[in-house]
Amino acid sequence: MPPSLPTPSVALRAIPTLARAATTSAGTTPTPPKPPPSKDHHVHSYSPEAFPLGYAVSSTHASIKKKAGALDLGILVSTADRPCSAAACLTRNVFKAAPVTVTTELLHSGHGRARGFIVNSGCANAVTGKKGLEDAWAMSKNTTSQLPPGPDGVGTLVMSTGVIGQHLPISNILGKIPDLTRSLEDSSKAWLDLAKAFMTTDTFPKLRARTFKLGDRLVRIAGIDKGAGMIAPSMGPPQPPHATLLGVIATDAAIHPEALQSALNYAVDRSFNNITVDGDMSTNDSILCLANGAAGKVADEGRESADQMEEITELGNPEEFGIFKEELRSFAEELAQLVVRDGEGATKFVTIRVKNAPSYDIANAVAKSVANSSLFKTAMYGEDANWGRILCAVGYTPLSPNPISPTKVSVTFIPSSTLSDSTPLRLLTNGEPEPNIDEARASTILAEEDLEVEIDLGDGNEEAKVWTCDFSHEYVTINGSYRS
Amino acid sequence: MPPSLPTPSVALRAIPTLARAATTSAGTTPTPPKPPPSKDHHVHSYSPEAFPLGYAVSSTHASIKKKAGALDLGILVSTADRPCSAAACLTRNVFKAAPVTVTTELLHSGHGRARGFIVNSGCANAVTGKKGLEDAWAMSKNTTSQLPPGPDGVGTLVMSTGVIGQHLPISNILGKIPDLTRSLEDSSKAWLDLAKAFMTTDTFPKLRARTFKLGDRLVRIAGIDKGAGMIAPSMGPPQPPHATLLGVIATDAAIHPEALQSALNYAVDRSFNNITVDGDMSTNDSILCLANGAAGKVADEGRESADQMEEITELGNPEEFGIFKEELRSFAEELAQLVVRDGEGATKFVTIRVKNAPSYDIANAVAKSVANSSLFKTAMYGEDANWGRILCAVGYTPLSPNPISPTKVSVTFIPSSTLSDSTPLRLLTNGEPEPNIDEARASTILAEEDLEVEIDLGDGNEEAKVWTCDFSHEYVTINGSYRS
């Protein structure tokens, strides 16, 4: 590993908020610093029954992160008797990190089955050449070898997140794997600790769980994700492989690997692939999905079922598949939004909804153009109703041919549900600015943490939603010295 | 005009630099704030002979900018006896500002001839509907009507820059045009004042002039531009029209309108279209080019020539056209770089050079992907040699099909010429990180204002250069409250 740089900017990291200026050169009254809002309420607690059956997890400190005791290595293993289905959506970045390559090969060789995964934070093992690949394979194989024997070719998937271009402290990691495999458990605390082992610049661990009815069973789904910066994922199925958003969704439903991949593609395209913090698509973005079929309880009757749930396929069980796919999308959306809420330095959560577009792809491209505009994002931070910047970003959406007709476009602010007056505030109608915008009301709307910007293209029936955050002083502080 | 917002963030604008933190929450020794470097040395002074013959300029305060006396309206007029050739490259944003539309129509109706232009700063007259168009036409026609009679259809071009979505204070503007046309002059001060009338968040006026030999004549060229934010231009010729970089290049060479447009397209594609501050392509980006043929002095002999210079055409005078085109490109590059040096909050000037690419377009796309990465730009601000972010941005360049082979890519820092040790610092070779990077040297290189990042794709012979700046706290401060 290259040594750390000298510390020209170390002091910056210690500053939680540089948000608003504390002094002015003109000697005017200081504006008090405005800290990012507290995010503690996004950490939910669950009883052990909330988590899917047949999984065990553990995590530890392997000295990858510098902070003593910080969780930075974890594993999740399926303990079910039957093979566990596995699917993934992985980064489309040309520079795929070594763990992305290894996970791709393992999904192939295992024909869509896996034992579970190992994850580390603090080092991305990306752009690390041949040694990087050897290290990722060592993490996988070493874990698999310490689990009970399983089918040939079915291995442990790998995920890494952190600094790019540095080698993993692989001996630390391999030295900790025996501890991890010995201390596997299924407690609520163990799940939350695993979520902590995913974290880099995240300010809170991201863990969600829910239960739903699938066929005659009650099934459970749990998900962990991480990410705060380098967030603008574009992930597809492993062939061709393409990631630093990391996430895992584990369910005890029984889903055939092909159906699992198909449902995950659908869900990721409408959730993780529609969030942005800074427009930087990472080398490591990975969403894994595991389905071990361990769900035992028959819905409505509350009794445990002795028979195994049969694996759902797309053609064989279209109704159940449809239910699963939609539950997965909705769950993935919840997890994806947590990443935006914890965006580096974020003080705002903004939904960009583009409606009445000629196609979903056009709606999506327009929404992403606005969601990634530095000028729009700084205006949101400044709570400045500078809607001209929204229009500007709509107008430079890279579309060829470009079907947008300026005289058909309308823009509206939809206030947060936290406000008593939920009347939408129209800013532009068919390309003409509203003559008497209530700027005081605009300010009230923008002062809330949540905002929805609705862009009506006036030409079609399709709609897309993208979630973004604002661009703050704190973002610059965090990223001016990430490696320090 | 909508009223200004209440002032939640007004105090921010008064703060010249929030760059480095003055305090830390941990109570450690404060890091002193690091101001953007002084940019005064970029203001050059010229003798009156440096400016092209046959032009007169003037500027005034028309109460568009709030600051009393701030220059915000100006005109430039050709005073030559013969018609003045005119060409333009205008924004490709779908929401073309009213002045962009009017300039396009005037270039058509005038068959590539114009009287000059009128420019205002402080309000972009963009997304302003029908009234916006009426206002832009009024600016043009009112100016033309107060000049000596000229050929039918040949008018005064229009440019505007400032806030989007607000109407111009048109009666203020029209009331000042008689003063402007009465006070036209060709002094050095008048040229510099015109450059000031272009400014918005610019910290210095941008004016350059040079002289070169064209055929048997000495010709002069002068240029003004402005822009600091919303800078990621993509400009093409007026059909189809497309804009808040503003610039004008005026020469006393005699160039036929078609040849002038051809040379301008070439020059803009290799200069203004290859700069970025924040990746936001404006609704108003406009580069005008005027050539009035007033150059009188025969080169080498120093005597004034009584005969008019003949208009150069692309086919009729290939050698002279080639010289003019290359001079225009080089001059445009100088003007374009000034915009990046004055990028909002910029403390660094970074050249991204992509070489050994399969095509110019691929080289250009890769360079722009890095130049627009928020994570790369914040690392530059933090003087952090986090080159993994460079690779990451190379890897997500939107190319289809994507020809980049990760194992062929090399990355090198080329130190600023201000450093005594100019040895390039190799970071990555053929996809493998260099094992022992001298981090102390990397820090020394990154501490300078200028840096070149060389990205070798190892697959072809084509090359492109893009110029960008860093992303600082000050950028967020400026843009969190631009309208205030």
Q: Is domain A40-341 annotated with CATH 3.40.1790.10?
A: no
| CB-closest option in A375, A440, A479 to B379 | A479
Specify the residue for token string 């201000």.
B418
Q: How far is A76 from chain B (nearest CA, A)?
A: 28
Query: Of A101, A144, A211, A244, which is the active-site residue?
Result: A244
Q: What is the pLDDT along chain B (484 residues), one digit of tens a residue?
A: 333 333 332 222 222 222 223 223 333 333 434 566 788 888 999 999 999 999 999 999 999 999 999 999 999 999 998 899 999 999 888 888 999 999 999 999 999 999 999 999 999 999 898 999 999 999 999 999 999 998 888 999 999 999 888 899 999 999 999 999 999 999 999 999 999 999 988 889 999 999 999 988 899 999 999 987 777 777 776 643 333 789 999 999 999 999 999 999 999 999 999 999 888 888 888 899 999 999 977 766 666 666 788 899 999 999 999 999 999 999 999 999 999 998 888 999 999 999 999 999 999 999 999 999 999 999 999 998 888 889 889 999 988 888 899 899 999 999 998 899 999 999 999 988 888 889 899 999 999 999 999 999 999 999 999 999 999 998 888 888 655 4
**pLDDT confidence of residue B251:** 95
Q: Which residue of A94, A410, A484 is the best one to mutate when testing the B interface, meaning the one whose CB has the most B CBs within 10 A?
A: A94
Given a cut of 50, whether residue A240 has pLDDT beyond it is: no
* Chain segment A192-230, per-residue pLDDT in tens: 999 999 998 888 999 999 999 998 889 999 999 998 777
State the smallest CA–CA distance between residue B140 and chain A in angstroms: 22
A226 is in an annotated binding site: yes
How confident is the model over A398-446, as pLDDT tens digits?
Answer: 888 888 998 999 999 999 988 999 999 999 999 888 888 898 999 999 9
One-character DSSP codes across A325-376: HHHHHHHHHHHHHHHHHT-TT---EEEEEEEEESSHHHHHHHHHHHHT-HHH
Q: Which residues of B touch A447 (CB under 8 A)?
A: 8
Q: At what angle do helices B129-145 and B170-182 cross, to 10 degrees?
A: 20
Chain B: residue whose CA lies nearest to A383: B480
In this complex, which of A29, A392, A475 lies closest to B164 when CB atoms are compared?
A392
Q: Is A432 touching B (CB cutoff 8 A)?
A: yes
Domain ranges of chain B: 44-341, 349-479
> pLDDT value at position A385?
86
Determine how many CB atoms are found less than 10 A away from the CB of residue A386: 25
**pLDDT tier, A236 (very low <50, low <70, confident <90, very high otherwise):** confident
In tens, the pLDDT along A85-110 reads 999 999 888 888 999 999 999 999 99
Lowest mean pLDDT of A234-243, A468-477, B26-35, B172-181, name the range.
B26-35
Contacts of B282 in chain A (CB under 8 A): 392
Calculate mean pLDDT across residues A280-290: 88
Task: With a cut of 70, say whether residue A27 has pLDDT above it.
Answer: no
Name beta bridge partners: A116: A77, A156
Nearest-CA distance from B363 to chain A in Å? 15
- pLDDT > 90: percent of chain A: 66
Nearest CA in chain A to B407: A129
Residue-level pLDDT at B279: 82
Chain B residue at shortest CA distance from A26: B14
Strands A286-291 and A425-429: unpaired
Contact B267, B273 (CB under 8 A): no
B44-341: CATH superfamily? L-amino peptidase D-ALA esterase/amidase (3.60.70.12)
Q: Do A164 and B389 touch (CB under 8 A)?
A: yes
The amino acid at residue B31 is: T
Report the distance separating Cα B358 and Cα B239, nearest Å. 30
- At residue B343, the pLDDT reads 87
Hey, are the CB atoms on A388 and B443 less than 8 Å from each other?
A: no
Partner A contacted by B92 (CB < 8 A): yes
CA B397 remoteness from chain centre = 24
pLDDT at A112 over 80: yes
Measured between beta carbons, the chain A residues lying within 8 angstroms of B388 are 124, 126-127, 163-166, 283
Amino acid A195: pLDDT: 96
For residue A12, give the chain B residue with the closest CA.
B21
Residue B400, chain A, CB below 8 Å: the answer is no
Classify each residue of B339-377 as buried b or exposed e, where b means 16 or more C-beta atoms within 10 Å of its C-beta.
bbbbbbbbbbbbbbbbbbbeeeebbbbbbbbbbbbbbbb
Distance (Å, whole) CA B202 – CA B71: 13
Domain formed by A349-479, architecture: Roll (3.10)
Q: Which residue has the tokens 């929805």?
A: A452
Residues of chain B found within 8 Å of residue A31, distances taken between Cβ atoms = 9, 11-12
Please give the positions of B annotated as active site.
Answer: 244
Is the omega angle on the peptide bond into residue A398 within 30 degrees of 0, that is, cis?
Answer: no
Strands of B246-251's sheet in order across: B206-214, B217-226, B246-251, B286-291, B85-91, B235-236
The chain B residue lying nearest A24, using CA atoms, is: B15
Provide the 3-class DSSP secondary structure of residue A473.
helix
Q: Which residues pair with A275 in a beta bridge?
A: A467
- Using left for φ > 0, alpha for ψ between -120 and 50, and beta otherwise, residue B51 falls in beta
| pLDDT value at residue B156 | 97
* Residues in A touching B481 (Cβ below 8 Å): 382, 384
Q: What are the contacts of B146-150 at 24+ separation with CB within 8 A? A: B146/B177, B146/B178, B146/B181, B147/B77, B147/B115, B147/B181, B150/B115
Question: Choosing among B17, B94, B437, which should be mutated to test the A contact, i.e. which has the most A CBs within 10 A?
Answer: B94
Min distance A237 CA to chain B CA atoms (Å):
17
Say whether B439 and A2 touch across the interface (CB within 8 A): yes
- Chain A 1-30, CB below 8 Å of chain B: which residues? 2-6, 8-9, 11-12, 14-16, 18, 20-26, 28-30
What pLDDT does residue B447 have?
Answer: 93
**A130 known ligand binder:** no
The confidence score (pLDDT) of residue B12 equals 27
User: A480 vs B381: CB contact, 8 Å cut-off?
Assistant: yes
Distances (CA, A) of B263 to A262, A384, B105, B334, B464: 52, 41, 20, 16, 19
Distance, in angstroms, between A164 CA and closest chain B CA?
5
Q: What 3-state class would DSSP assign to A8?
A: coil
Q: Between residues 125 and 144 of chain A, which touch chain B (CB distance below 8 Å)?
A: 126-130
Question: Shortest Cα distance from B429 to chain A (angstroms)?
Answer: 10
User: What pLDDT shows up at residue B34?
Assistant: 57
pLDDT at B239: 44
Task: Provide the pLDDT for residue B201.
Answer: 85
Asked if B153 reaches chain A (Cβ–Cβ under 8 Å), the answer is no
Cα–Cα separations (whole angstroms), residue B392 to A220, A230, A244, B370, B395: 36, 9, 10, 8, 5
Asked whether the domain spanning A349-479 has the same topology as the one spanning A40-341, the reply is no
SS3 per-residue string spanning chain B: CCCCCCCCCHHHHCCCCCCCCCCCCCCCCCCCCCCCCCCHHHCCCCCHHHCCCCEEEEEECCCCCCCCCCCCEEEEEECCCCCCEEEEEEECCCCCCHHHHHHHHHHHHCCCECCEEEEEEEECCCCCHHHHHHHHHHHHHHHHHCCCCCCCCCCEEEEEEEECCCCCCHHHHHHHHHHHHHCCECCHHHHHHHHHHCCCCCCCCEEEEEEEEECCEEEEEEEEEECCCCCCCCEECCCCCCCCCEEEEEECCCECHHHHHHHHHHHHHCCHHHEECCCCCCCCCEEEEEECCCCCEECCCCCECCCCCCCECCCCCHHHHHHHHHHHHHHHHHHHHHHHHCCCCCCCEEEEEEEEECCHHHHHHHHHHHHCCHHHHHHHHCCCCCCHHHHHHHHCCCCCCCCCCHHHCEEEEEECCCCCCCCCEEEEECCEECCCCCHHHHHHHHHCCEEEEEEECCCCCEEEEEEEECCCHHHHHHHCCCCC
Mean pLDDT of chain A: 87
**Torsion over CA: A278, A281, A282, A287 (sign):** positive
Chain A partners of B67 at a C-beta cutoff of 8 Å?
none
Select from A20, A129, A404 the Cβ nearest to the Cβ of B431.
Answer: A129
